[in-house]
Amino acid sequence: MASVEFPSPGTSGGLWTHQNSGMPTVDKDRASDLCRYVDASPSPFHAVAESVRRLEEAGFRGLDADDTRPDPGRWYHRSGGALVAWVDEGRSPDAPLRIIGAHTDSPNLRVKPLPDHGGLGLRQVGVEVYGGVLLNSWLDRDLGVSGRLVLREGAGRSVRLVRDDRPVARIPQLAIHLDRGVTDKGLVLNAQNHLSPVMGAGLAEPGAFVGSLAVLADVDPSDVLAFDAMFHDLSPSILSGPATEFVSAPRLDDLLSCHAGTEALITAAGSTGGSSGSKPDVVLEREGTGVPVLALFDHEEVGSISATGAGGPLLVRTLRRFVGLDDRRINGALVLSVDGAHGTHPNYPDRHDGDHPVLLNGGPVLKFNAKERYATDAPGAAEVRDLAERAGVPLQSFVSRSDMPCGSTIGPSTAAETGLRTVDLGVAQLAMHSAREFCGSEDPALLGRLLDAVLAG
C-alpha cells in the first residue's frame, strides 16, 4: 500500500493558530452560515429559493425569460433548480464576464410518479436513485421529504415548494443475523428491492404520498398535477471536531459552492458603491472591471444535459438576452467551475496520487485532468494562482491516479457552451456523495476570499 505523508497544520500557509490548550482555533463564521444555507436547501429548488432570498436582500431583482433587456443593475433569472444572477451596474458595456458556476443538485433518492406500495402492515414509497449515491449511507436515517408541486390554479398552473422536516420515512437495514456475510463481503444493495423507505403503518393506498404533499401545501390532492419530490437526511448541519475544525453536513457537494458563489456575488454588488440591500445613488463606470455572474445549474450529478443543466442553453441564452454576451470582451473573461474536491482519505491513501495530497483546511483545490474531465488549463491555473497569492489564499492541486477514472463537473460543459476560459476548483471533502459529507471549517472562508478576488478581477 502506498503511503502519503501529510504536512502538519502549521505548514499549510498560516491557517492554524494554537492556544495554550494545544488545540487549533478556526474561523467559524462562514462555515456556520454555510450550515444555515445547507439546512435551508433540502432540494435544488429550495437552494435556488435561498440564494434568491439572500440576493433580494442585497437589492437584486428578478427577470422572467421573456422580459426585455433591463437597465444595468443587480438582476437574477431563475428556472426551476437553476439560477443566473449578475451585476452590470457601474460596468462598461464591453466589460468581460467573470462567472462563478456551481450546481444545486446532490445525489439522493427521488420519488417515483406512482410511488405507493407496501405490505406486511407497512406503507412504503418507491424511489429512484439520482446520481452516484453511496447507497449504504441512506440506511437507518430519519428522512424528510421536499420538492415542488405543480398545481391546478383556475385556468392555469402554479408551482409550490414543499418540505416536511418531520422524520416521516426510514430505510431499515437488514439485521446482521440475516446477512452473516455483510462484514466480510460488504453490503450489497439492489436499488429496486432494498431502498423503498417505510413511510407509515397500514395498507398502501394509491394516492397516499401525493395526499401527504397536498397537506404540506394546504391544497386539495386533486389539484396536484405533478411533483418532483426527494428524500433528505434530517440531521442538522454542524461544526464538528474537538475544536470545531470540521463541517459535517448533507449536500456539501455542491451547496458549499452555491453558498460561496451567492455570497461572493453579493460582495461584488456592494463594491459598485451601494450598500447591501439598495442600489447606489451614483453609479460610476469602472473601466476594465468585469461583470460578475453567478450560474447555479441543476442536474450536474446526472450529466448536465437538460434545460437547466450546464450542458443546456440557460446560461448563454440568459447572458445573450440580458447582459449583452456578444458585445463583451473575451480577454479578461473567466469562468470558475466550483465543485467539491476529493480530500486525501487517511484510511485509503492508496486511492489517491501520492504526489498530490489534498488536505482539509488546506485551502481551495485546483483540479486537473488530461482527458478534459476538468476544464483547467495552464493560463487559467496561472491566473487563479496569481489572484489567490494576492488574496493570501493557499491553493492545492488535485489529479486522479493515472490508473483510476476521474469524475467530472460543470466545467467542461460550461467551457464548451460559452467558449470562455474555465478553471475547475473546489473545497476538499471526504465522504463525497454520502448522505452526509465532511470538510474543513476554514476552507469555506478561504474559498470565499478567492471568489471575491476573482469577481473583483
312-318, Cβ contacts within 8 angstroms, sequence gap of 24 or more: 313/417, 314/79, 314/82, 314/84, 315/84, 315/99, 315/101, 315/414, 315/417, 315/418, 316/417, 316/418, 318/77, 318/84
Same domain, 113 and 102: no
Q: Which among 181, 206, 233 is the end of a domain?
A: 233
CATH of the domain at 140: 2.30.250.10
Q: What is the pLDDT of residues 185-228, one digit of tens each?
A: 899 999 999 999 999 999 889 999 999 999 999 999 999 999 99
Q: What is the pLDDT of residue 339?
A: 97
Same domain, 50 and 138: no
Cell numbers 431563475: residue: 78
Q: What is the pLDDT of residues 125-158, one digit of tens each?
A: 999 999 999 999 999 999 999 999 999 998 899 9
Q: Which among 208, 233, 258 is the end of a domain?
A: 233
Same domain, 92 and 112: no
Same domain, 311 and 353: yes
Same domain, 315 and 214: no
Same domain, 112 and 102: no
Alpha-carbon radius of gyration of the chain: 23
* Residue 120 located in a structural domain: yes
The range of the structural domain enclosing residue 132 comes to 108-233
Same domain, 293 and 259: yes
Same domain, 78 and 116: no
Structural domain total, the chain:
2
CATH of the domain at 377: 3.40.630.10
Q: What is the pLDDT of residues 160-174, one digit of tens each?
A: 999 999 999 999 999
Q: What is the pLDDT of residue 271?
A: 59
Which residues does 405 contact at the CB level (< 8 Å), separation at least 6?
A: none
* Residue 239 located in a structural domain: no
pLDDT under 70: residue ranges of the chain:
1-27, 271-288
Same domain, 394 and 254: yes
First to last CA, the chain: 44
From the list 85, 82, 100, the residue with the least C-alpha distance to 44 is: 82
Q: What is the pLDDT of residue 178?
A: 94
Which residues does 109 contact at the CB level (< 8 Å), separation at least 6?
A: 127, 128, 129, 130, 133, 138, 195, 197, 230, 231
Alpha carbon 99 to its chain's center: 15
Q: What is the pLDDT of residue 203?
A: 86
* Residue 376 located in a structural domain: yes
Q: What is the pLDDT of residue 137?
A: 97
Grid coordinates belonging to 415:
467551457
| Strand 365-367 to 122-130 pairing | unpaired
Q: What is the pLDDT of residue 27?
A: 63
Same domain, 333 and 380: yes
Same domain, 63 and 155: no
* Residue 245 located in a structural domain: no
* Residue 238 located in a structural domain: no
Q: Which among 172, 202, 233 is the end of a domain?
A: 233
Q: What is the pTM of this model?
A: 0.91
Q: What is the pLDDT of residue 25?
A: 45
